[in-house]
Amino acid sequence: MTNNWNRKDQHIHFAEMQYQSNSSNGLDGIRFIHQSFAEIKTEDVKLNTRLDSLKLDYPFFINAMTGGSDKARIINENLAIVARETNLAMAVGSVSTALQSPELNDSFKIVRKMNPNGLIFSNLGAHHSLENAKRAVDLLEANALQIHVNTPQELVMPEGDRDFTNWLKNIEIIVNELDVPVFVKEVGFGMSKETIRRLLDLGVNVIDVAGRGGTNFIHIENERREEKEFDYLLNWGQTTAESLLEAHFYRKQADFVASGGIKNPLHMLAAFGLGAKAVGISGEFLHMILTEGNEASIKKIERWKNELRALMTMIGSSSISDIENKPIILSSELTNWCHQRHIDFKHR
């Protein structure tokens, strides 16, 4: 892969190439027990939710993707229009490139320009300082900051970081000093209960487990290597379902976001059944924007809202928070995961 092709554009290209991959996020291993009597009206179903102090009118949002190039600017502009028209929250990709090269600012600032009243999340890596975190928020007049953790990606990335000694310290300082909510998110490798415990100890209130099953950044960075020698790592990490199970014991101590290969409202329902308060979607929205355009994407999102209300009616849940109280069954694979990881998940 030629080095003069902007790395952000490479990420977009390879992410879209991955879209048709059959990698599983594990959420198809969650089954709700059908009950014949729902006893609620669809019109009474509410889709609003909360992440820390933020109120979301809908429980899924456009998760972090891109920024930092002319092509990324166009994509972010279109995503912001879709977010505005559907009233979805939206996160941008890492703004570190803009902090280093101010001429790239507009590829991110276009989001706030196109959606002046929307919920916008800025994004930075965990190696950044409090000063940079404040700059990242100011750049977008952001309502929250996502701090992404991506050790495997950095190690496979030819020009990636090799020093991870200050990540936890940086996160703690930013969480305690920033005046907007701080989310900590993986980038597609999932989280363990040990990781979650450490984040809770730092005061993190919103955690995006971002499991395996969606965009695979080991694959993306490996494709950028001359020898492509890390292809044996393509299945590294926990799936989205496994990550939510890892969070099971802590689901009352933080607000959890599920992301990683979410492709339909049934995946959303499964994530809520495992305790997620919201769902972040990247690859599916990127594909929609690139192949279907804004108008079709808006129509699909509105259809998803109606489908999610129908699914919630079917299981008798009138609120997002109630879904985790409904009886579900785990697949044998997920049950085995719980057994080996000593996770006391009751088949409700």
Query: With helix as H, strand as E and coil as C, how does the chain read?
Result: CCCCCCHHHHHHHHHHHHCCCCCCCCHHHEEECCCCCCCCCHHHCCCCEEECCEEECCCEEECCCCCCCHHHHHHHHHHHHHHHHHCCCEECCCCHHHHHCHHHCHHHHHHHHHCCCCCEEEEEECCCCHHHHHHHHHHHCCCEEEEEECHHHHHHCCCCCCCCCCHHHHHHHHHHHCCCCEEEEECCCCCCHHHHHHHHHCCCCEEECCCECCCCHHHHHHHCCCCCCCHHHCCCCCEHHHHHHHCHHHCCCCEEEEECCCCCHHHHHHHHHCCCCEEEECHHHHHHHHHCHHHHHHHHHHHHHHHHHHHHHHHCCCCHHHHHHCCEEECHHHHHHHHHCCCCCCCC
Establish if 150 belongs to a structural domain. yes
Residue 348 has pLDDT above 70, yes or no: no
Question: Measuring CA to CA, how many Å separate 123 from each of 1, 13, 98, 209, 329?
Answer: 27, 20, 11, 15, 35
**The model's pTM:** 0.94
The lowest-confidence range among 19-28, 78-87, 235-244 is 19-28
User: Quick one: pLDDT at residue 13?
Assistant: 54
User: Quick one: pLDDT at residue 2?
Assistant: 36
Q: How many structural domains does the chain have?
A: 1
Contact indicator for 121, 92 with CB cutoff of 8 Å: yes
By DSSP bridging, strand 328-330 and strand 30-32 are antiparallel
- Residue 8, annotated ligand binder? yes
pLDDT category of residue 1 using cuts at 50, 70 and 90 = very low
Establish if 346 belongs to a structural domain. no
Gap between the Cα atoms of 272 and 59, Å rounded: 9
Establish if 28 belongs to a structural domain. yes
- Residue 282, annotated ligand binder? yes
- Residue 177, annotated ligand binder? no
- Residue 42, annotated ligand binder? no
Establish if 345 belongs to a structural domain. no
Residue 296's domain comprises 9-340
- Residue 65, annotated ligand binder? yes
Establish if 2 belongs to a structural domain. no
pLDDT in tens, 35-74: 999 999 999 999 999 999 999 999 999 999 888 888 899 9
pLDDT in tens, 157-167: 998 899 999 99
Establish if 271 belongs to a structural domain. yes
- Residue 263, annotated ligand binder? yes
- Residue 49, annotated ligand binder? no
- Residue 215, annotated ligand binder? yes
Establish if 4 belongs to a structural domain. no
- Residue 64, annotated ligand binder? yes
- Residue 194, annotated ligand binder? no
- Residue 10, annotated ligand binder? no
Establish if 215 belongs to a structural domain. yes
- Residue 123, annotated ligand binder? yes
- Residue 94, annotated ligand binder? yes
Mean pLDDT of 6-17: 57
- Residue 262, annotated ligand binder? yes
Gap between the Cα atoms of 338 and 128, Å rounded: 35
- Residue 2, annotated ligand binder? no
CATH number of 232's domain:
3.20.20.70
Query: Which among 164, 252, 269, 237 is positioned nearest to 207, based on CA atoms?
Result: 252
- Residue 134, annotated ligand binder? no
Gap between the Cα atoms of 209 and 256, Å rounded: 7
